[in-house]
Amino acid sequence: MKITKTNAARLLDKARIVYELIPYTVDENNLAVDHVAHELGEDIEQVFKTLVLRGDRNGIFVCVVPGHTEVNLKRAAKISGNKSAEMIAMKELLPTTGYIRGGCSPIGLKKPFPIYIHHTCADFDYIYISAGVRGLQIKISPTDLVAYTHATIGDIAE
């Protein structure tokens, strides 16, 4: 099967970062991470989802958390220098990030938003993140991802 490189993959190539593109079967009725993890044959703890939030002081920021968790809004607000934070509306996702639901990657966002990655990423040699489209994941070293995205590691999920 021919895999089309996404913008996120091209950016990683340009930065000479090692990664793998891993395709999976999309279920339009189930975009949840548990489906993705099952399709990949991986533990859900290693399949991370990218969520976009808006803080009351500093605006848009991105949280990357393990698939079996939810963002803790209080902790996310605190680490990002906000008093409060909330998920952006679904209709704002594409115009804000350039990505659609189920295909939002922390790499190749429309603008360089602050990125926060859950600390458990460091427990693994590799994690999965969206490649920027539904049906394709990037398998990458968390160390490389953090370095490339200039992310802050923290306890942002529950």
Residue 95 — pLDDT band, cuts 50, 70, 90? very high
User: 40-94: per-residue pLDDT in tens?
Assistant: 999 999 999 999 999 999 999 999 999 999 999 999 999 999 999 999 999 999 9
CA–CA separation, 72 and 75 (whole Å): 5
- pLDDT at site 1: 60
- Per the rule left: phi > 0, alpha: psi between -120 and 50, beta: everything else, 138 is beta
Averaged pLDDT for residues 110-131:
97
pTM as predicted: 0.95
Average pLDDT of the residues in 25-42: 90
